Structure 1
Amino acid sequence: MSALDVKHLRAGYGQKIILEDISFTVQPREIRMILGASGCGKSTLLNNILKLEHAISGTLSFFGEEIQTKEPIPDRLRRRMGVLFQGGALLTNLTVAENVALPLRRSYPKLAQTTLNEIVADRLEKVHLLNAFYKFPSELSGGMRKRAALARAIAFEPELLFCDEPSAGLDPVTSRSLDELLLELRDTLGVSVIIVSHELESIKTITDKFIYLQNGNILMDGTLDEGLHSDIPVIHKFFAREHDNPVVNKRFIHFEFEN
């Protein structure tokens, strides 16, 4: 049974159509990337899958259960999913532990504090951030904030994890560590991961399959190897490009190793 099936999804804003006819499948334990140029509809697609926006037409199936366009995702299915937002979306007035506990408190308000603390500690340990239990987001580095947000996203040990530009704003060394952590979580939790990204190194490191969006449609749906060897000009150019800001990245790497 697939983790997610998107069938003939059509979406937009008002009279403007952004996505024409999007269909793809995510298998269990698969890391699936959503790729494309800026403004192609990557975030729109993610928002429509998560029902943060409502598509014009099409269906979504989570774990074999079909959800119609205007239907909300039931809580019992949402608890099988997690979301890592681009900026982390941590509440600055709460500690890391309190941020991770938020979805658990919302779903299980009568959960004993000791049990809640044990679960939160386990999730923080899974992202290698247990030492930040009592810290506030302002006391964390950018990479640590991403890991704290990731701990909250896996609060229910989900089967399906959505990540919106997880490496955005991180230096190459920290970005690589986050990629390795996502692979680790895929292996330990058995989670399927859907990632919106434009970071070439991350794409080449963790992708199993990808879809490439262009002009509201899927230009290519394939494996990483198929993308790397594609003769479609746009796809070839995308995978053949140099890493973004190579000079800046080299400085980051040099700084990390010297200190």
Structure 2
Amino acid sequence: MIEILNADELARARRTGRLVADILHTAKARAKVGTNLLEIDAWTRQMIEAAGAESCYVDYAPSFGRGPFGHYICTSVNDAVLHGLPHDHALADGDLVTLDLAVKLDGIAADSAISFIVGDTQPADSLALIGATRDALAAGIAAAGPRARLGDISHAVGTVLHGAGYSINGDFGGHGIGSTMHQDPHVPNDGRRGRGYRLKPGLLLAIEPWVMADTDELLIDDDGWTLRSATGCRTAHSEHTVAITEDGVEILTLPST
């Protein structure tokens, strides 16, 4: 199902988007060397419940996971890139961390992800990896709008990632979002300009470029959720929820301050 939101629903989506962004950026600011991934999960639960919102993850049990997920945020470290299941692990200096969060507030969901490095050690190759996903996300958003097609977003994202020297895994990408976390259309991270669904005002999309440094192959952990690079290389992931408007595109998952 492709869901088109009305003006009231879009206003609620803005509130959800700000909440998601505020939680992510608060968790990032609090994450230090020695922070346990389970602490991050606990902080997230506290912030979601304090806002009167609900997690999209706790009871999430799709066909590709070993569900339900049972936690409030995805915490992926170094070679983990997607669906990182929080567990008893303390962050070390130089770790590359991705936090991915989806929350529903007042009946509307929003989804966002950020990657960052913990501590004083900031490896240049890891910074480049993160930068490529951010640049690809910006390009994908710039390509969106009420006269664009889905392939325009995918082409823009893929052009940046390929241009930075990374290969692209096509198994997981962005998606529609609204009253539920995952909806049609699927938003691939590579594609052909001018192809696919024509975007309409009121459509919400989660655009999410992610890459692995030297492979496009994934492995799944024994936990049944965490996806890692097949070679053990580092990974990065950037994501925003955006709304297609009458005259362009609006990023919903920006922090309030």
TM-score category (smaller protein): under 0.3
TM-score by length of 2: 0.28
TM-score by length of 1: 0.28
Structure with bigger gyration radius: 1
